[in-house]
Amino acid sequence: MAIRIYNTLTRQKEEFKPLREGEVRMYVCGPTVYDYPHLGHARTYIAFDVIRRYLEHRGYTVLMVMNFTDIDDKIIKRANETGEDPKELAEKFLRIFLEDMKALKVKPADVYPRVTEHMEDIINFVKKLQEKGYAYEGSDGVYFEVRKFKDYGKLSKIKLEDLVKGARVEPGEGKRNPEDFALWKKAKPGEPKWKSPWGEGRPGWHIECSTMSSKYLGESFDIHGGGNDLIFPHHENEIAQSEACFGHEWVHYWMHTGFLMLNGEKMSKSLGNFVTVRELLKRYDPEVIRLFVLQRHYRSPLDYSEEGIEHAKNNLERLYNTLENIRVAMERAEIAFRWDEPEFRAYEAIRDARRKFYEAMDDDFNTAEALKAVFEVSNAINRYLTEVEKPKESILRKAWEFFRDVGEVFGLFEDYFKEQRAGNEEELINLLVEVRAQLRKERRFDLADRIREELRKLGIQLEDTPQGTVWKRIKV
RNA sequence: GCCGGGAUAGCCUAGAGGCGAGGCGAGGGACUGCAGAUCCCUUUCACCCGGGUUCAAAUCCCGGUCCCGGCUCCA
């Protein structure tokens, strides 16, 4: 079955067909680095991380590009407030962003083009627009003449008349028309600046994405993504610049993530109602945050609440328990010389859930729906384990492999599957378990419980079952 | 004003014409020296309101109510 993607451009789900066979080229708008990333950023980047992982899982080679806006009005403003050098400030928060994303297990992009590393390319792009008659130089900068681009508004469905009427567009001294936007801003005294044919200055915000995406992905590519708030004006302007310059369709699929909401309001720096990624990571495992995000469809607004995160934590705990149950059961599993009803039932449940998982992900990356399938396997395998004395190795393996695939796509259970059990740690634990078993036989429960308590503090949980005592690692 | 998204059991979320949606929480039971994990049962025939179409509507249509977002820097 084919993957279907909701395209903001057409406002409907479309079958995904990459421009080049087997390859997906995608660009996701990165942050302006002037502050700590908050959960809203995390939401968007985790969403695109899972989209990227899924495409890779389905066999595509994905070329992923994410930009850094490392020079911009906001950065200059913040630097002036704190007395820092704008370059150093940007550098600092760029590093912090990368660290936070790594902590959240977001796979790094293949290229992270920075504006300050691409001045020449940007200037050339503006020149081309000027040559083609879409751009003009004003007293304070170079502007894109919006009314010359006939398709303006096709992404956001905004009509030019309404835009002008809305009067929210700023007239600006150097502009011919209020709706025009800056491609190049001439530097005011004391501002960071680069040389250009129009004097010293810096690029406008939108031109960088047009320039850098086409540099790495070509004059047309598959997916361009970002937060919902970028549809207008940022992405609308990118389309205008790029299609004016190249003379043909630029991006095939536009994808946008819903906002992260806090008490009914969009979480944002300007509103000041944000929770930073670092803050959250101090209290929760990164996978809890990922699961929290994945429990909601990527296009829907996601409400942040402490309870919501706790829900995610409980859910993740359940999945880890299931993994541990399987692992422990593996030790007493046997080769199947025959199947009985429990085997047939477990097998069918896993088979059906796997199909559901892929169907849900194919349908515009419906992670919330896909998660249902994950819980179905969890339930089926736990039930199987209570039904049989000697579990069949093949059944456990089926479940195990399903979880491994889910983990690969969702960025969960990562450590679990790659974990090398260190040295003779296991033997030591087994020894303690044996000693405790003897103590229990002698009904010396105080000592037995002490061993259990102390191991628990070390992240090892002992569980007494009818088949004897097993030990599990506790993750969250 | 112009675009857009919503309202689903105690809670969080899927679904989008017809076979009891998933999880969490709560209560009960099984297993247990206790704990933990797991399983079973209950909460569970839920879809904002009012009309309409249909053999059949959470789902489609019309009309309301309420909530939220974008149109200005934003992921």
**pLDDT per position as a tens digit, A106-149:** 999 999 999 999 999 999 999 999 999 999 999 999 999 999 99
Q: CA A326 to CA A342: how far, in whole Å?
A: 15
For residue A435, the model assigns a pLDDT of 92
| pLDDT of A250 over the 90 cut | yes
A57 CB below 7 A from strand B atoms: no
| Nucleotide closest in space to A28 (CA vs C1') | B75
| pLDDT of A447 over the 80 cut | yes
For residue A327, the model assigns a pLDDT of 92
Q: How confident is the model at residue A172 (pLDDT cuts 50, 70, 90)?
A: low
DSSP A331: T
Interface confidence, given as ipTM, is: 0.93
Q: How confident is the model at residue A91 (pLDDT cuts 50, 70, 90)?
A: very high
Give the CA A398 to C1' B38 distance in Å.
Answer: 19
Q: How confident is the model at residue A421 (pLDDT cuts 50, 70, 90)?
A: low
Give the CA A314 to C1' B24 distance in Å.
Answer: 7
Q: 3-state DSSP call for residue A290?
A: helix
| pLDDT of A38 over the 80 cut | yes
Region A349-368 average pLDDT: 95
Per the structure, the residue whose CA is closest to nucleotide B30 at C1' is A386
For residue A356, the model assigns a pLDDT of 94
Q: CA A348 to CA A379: how far, in whole Å?
A: 13
Region A377-397 average pLDDT: 95
Percent of chain A scoring above 90 in pLDDT: 78
**pLDDT top residue among A71 and A474:** A71
Instruction: Give A177's contacts (C-beta < 8 A, 6+ positions apart).
Output: A145, A146, A147, A164
Q: Are the folds of A4-299 and A305-418 the same?
A: no
| Nucleotide closest in space to A295 (CA vs C1') | B13
- Asked whether the beta carbons of A106 and A63 are under 8 A apart, the reply is no
For residue A267, the model assigns a pLDDT of 87
Least confident of A158-162, A313-317, A390-394, A451-455: A158-162
Region A7-36 average pLDDT: 94
**Topology (CATH level 3) of domain A4-299:** Rossmann fold (3.40.50)
| Nucleotide closest in space to A158 (CA vs C1') | B3
For residue A277, the model assigns a pLDDT of 95
- Asked whether the beta carbons of A251 and A239 are under 8 A apart, the reply is yes
Residue A428's DSSP bridge partners are: none
Residue among A213, A256, A218, A238 nearest A19 (CA): A218
Give the start-to-end residue ranges of the domains of chain A.
4-299, 305-418, 425-473
Question: Which token pair is A265?
Answer: 């309001």
Chain centroid to Cα A474, Å, comes to 25
Percent of chain A scoring above 70 in pLDDT: 96
| Nucleotide closest in space to A163 (CA vs C1') | B71
Q: Please, which positions of strand B sit below 7 A from a protein CB? A: 1-6, 11-16, 21-25, 31-40, 67-75
For residue A49, the model assigns a pLDDT of 97
Phi (first) and psi of residue A116, to 5 degrees = -70, -15
Core vs surface per residue A105-141: b (16+ CB within 10 A) or e: bbbebebbbbbbebbebbbebbbbbbeeebbbbbebb
Q: 3-state DSSP call for residue A116?
A: helix
| Nucleotide closest in space to A373 (CA vs C1') | B22
- Asked whether the beta carbons of A27 and A217 are under 8 A apart, the reply is yes
| pLDDT of A418 over the 80 cut | no
Q: How confident is the model at residue A395 (pLDDT cuts 50, 70, 90)?
A: very high
Give the CA A360 to C1' B54 distance in Å.
Answer: 29
With respect to CATH, is domain A305-418 assigned 1.10.730.10? yes
Q: How confident is the model at residue A164 (pLDDT cuts 50, 70, 90)?
A: low
Q: How confident is the model at residue A168 (pLDDT cuts 50, 70, 90)?
A: low
Least confident of A48-52, A245-249, A413-417: A413-417
